Structure 1
Amino acid sequence: MKIWLRFQYRDRKGFGTADREWITEYAGDMFRNPEATDRRIALAEVELLPPTVPSKIVALWNNFHALSAKLGVPEPSEPLYLLKAPSSVTAPDAVVSRPPSYDGRIVWEGELGIVIGKTCRGISPDEADAFIFGYTCVNDLTAADLIGKDATFAQWARAKSFDGFCPFGPVIATDIEPASLIVRTIVNGAERQSYPISDMIFSAQEIVSRLSHDMTLFPGDLICCGTSLGVGSIKEASSSLVIAIDGIGELKTEFRLYFL
């Protein structure tokens, strides 16, 4: 397994692999035969960036057996998804504020993210692992009251695409088995979600395969696998949100409910 990340170090951006305290910087393209350099940088000295710059973000809905049963809705026969704007991406440890144009509920959703590593079109589930670069943590923030505000049109993309509404990272972990993972969400120190990826209706490989028949997936694209039980809304003026997945890391975000 390798742990990949992007960083800002002094006046430049870079990428590389990390261990507990150090980054080995790489040259070239993270997704196309990157080459290790002799530069090592202390992890404590860098600012972490979003681990990729996705051309698109695909977010699934109703992809867990437990949540489907609780909602009392049928399990889908194919992945149900929406697109979040790439401009919603923000870095690990970011401070995100309520959008000035919206005064309703804001919901956090801890999720597993799939990062695509190769251009992907029309593949089978058995081929998918060869196109998956690795996995990351996602907080799929949502302006929940917007979705049904207009009775004639469900505003999923708008509700999920405000600036800062897609924190992900802090790293990408490669060569792990996603079905073995547990996603936890900790809000102001209290665990609010803990659910197994093995409960997904569509596995990571099935998701990538199905989506690749709908659209071309490019290196760096992010797929948010959906969430399960325990989703809640932000209530404190300032809240600490942590999405934790053992084997990947902890994605930390501070959310401020007041307007700037």
Structure 2
Amino acid sequence: MKIIRYLADSRVHYGLAEPEGRIERLAAAPWETLQPSGHIDDLSTVRLLTPIERPRVFGLGYNYRAHSQEVGKASPAIPVLFMKPSTAVIGPGDSIVYPSDGENIHFEGELTVVIGKQARHVSEQDALSYVLGYTCGNDVSDRVLQRRESEFGCLLAGKGYDTFAPIGPVIATDLDPSNLSIITRVNGAVRQDGNTADLVFSVAQIIAYLSKYMTLLPGDMIMTGTPAGVGPIKVGDTIDVEIEGIGVLSNNVIAAADMEP
């Protein structure tokens, strides 16, 4: 099934996206229940939102072998972790804001895991049972600032600008995260063409590792790393991240000066 979060009748709802543009509205948040409320919405009349409101977002660096090779890094021995603030998260169709002082901003298409129930000290064997589903993500990154931070062993501001975490459009359940095609296009041209089979650390390994040190909560999101082919974006670009079984996350890029006050 495909779970969406959307605006209808001036209120935010969760629902199940069905064929022919029908949405079966849910009675509560999807990690509480998947019981329908009995109300049907029309997809053409609603606005899709990011699948979770202001989630905690965990990210992984160098988690695709081919990407590590293209940047001249060895594959890591343990997951390389960072976090993106909840204020960085935007939804499908929202705009990525290019910073006024930005010099080299990159896209990074990523499979994103959505946690469905509280997880602590989870085994690798049980880890996937804590997953609600999967969605598309774009780990937008300021490379100049990222490199400056990395020299001192930290990674936050270069990943954490407002709008630097587009996520959506749906949460797809019942997928095998170990073998999914992931394609990123810039203005229609393919820039990344990878597969989650190239992950250094699997989704199950990532969840087990994180839950060893901290409690994962329903609605937490994990950006699992990006395939080879990352590159710069500019104002006016449209970035599409397409993942097999999920769909397409599309966002355009605007200048900071174009934002409404």
TM-score bracket, normalised by the shorter chain, equals over 0.9
Secondary structure at 2:215 match in 1: coil
Q: CA deviation at 1:54?
A: 4.8
After superposition, the CA RMSD in angstroms is 1.5
Other-structure match for 1:253: 251
Matches within 5 A, 1:25-40: 25-40=25-40
Moved beyond 6 Å, runs of 4+? none
Aligned residue number for residue 24 of structure 1: 24
In structure 1, C-alpha distance between the alignment counterparts of 2:149 and 2:134, rounded to whole Å: 35
Aligned residues: 257
Question: Secondary structure at the residue paired with 1:211?
Answer: helix
> Contact 1:146/1:155 (CA < 8 Å) preserved in 2?
no
Q: What is the Cα deviation at residue 65 of structure 1?
A: 1.5
Question: Shift in Å at residue 144 of structure 1?
Answer: 1.2
Change (3 A) 1:151 1:18: closer
Distance apart, 1:150 and its partner CA: 5.8
Indicate conservation of the 8 Å contact 1:185/1:243, yes or no.
Answer: yes
- Residues in 2 aligned to 1:48 and 1:71: alpha-carbon distance in whole angstroms: 35
Aligned to 1:121: 120
Identity %: 34
> Does structure 2 conserve the Cα–Cα contact (< 8 Å) formed by 1:98 and 1:259?
no
Q: Cα offset for 1:179? A: 1.4
- Check conservation: 1:59, 1:82, Cα contact below 8 A: yes
Shift of 1:213: 0.7
Q: Supply the distance in 1 between the matched residues of 2:26 and 2:147 (Cα, whole angstroms).
A: 46
CA-to-aligned-CA distance 1:42-99 (integer Å, 9 cap, x gap) = 1111001110125411000011111223333222121111010011011110022223
Q: CA deviation at 1:246?
A: 2.0
Contact 2:27 2:33 in 1 (8 A): no
Post-superposition shift, 1:249? Answer: 0.6
Q: Is 1:69–2:69 an aligned residue pair?
A: yes
Q: How does 1:153-164 map to 2 (within 5 A)?
A: 153-154=152-153, 156-164=155-163
Residues 133/54 of structure 1: CA separation in 2 closer, same or farther (3 Å cut): farther
Q: CA deviation at 1:33?
A: 2.2
TM-score relative to the length of structure 2: 0.94
Give the Cα–Cα distance (whole angstroms) in 2 for the partners of residues 157 and 29 of structure 1: 29
Gapped runs of 5+ residues in structure 2?
none
Deviates more, 1:68-77 or 1:35-44: 68-77
Match of 1:172 in 2: 171
Deviation (angstroms), 1:15: 0.5
Aligned position for 1:243: 241
Q: Deviations over 1:118-138 (max 9, x none)?
A: 000111110111101110000
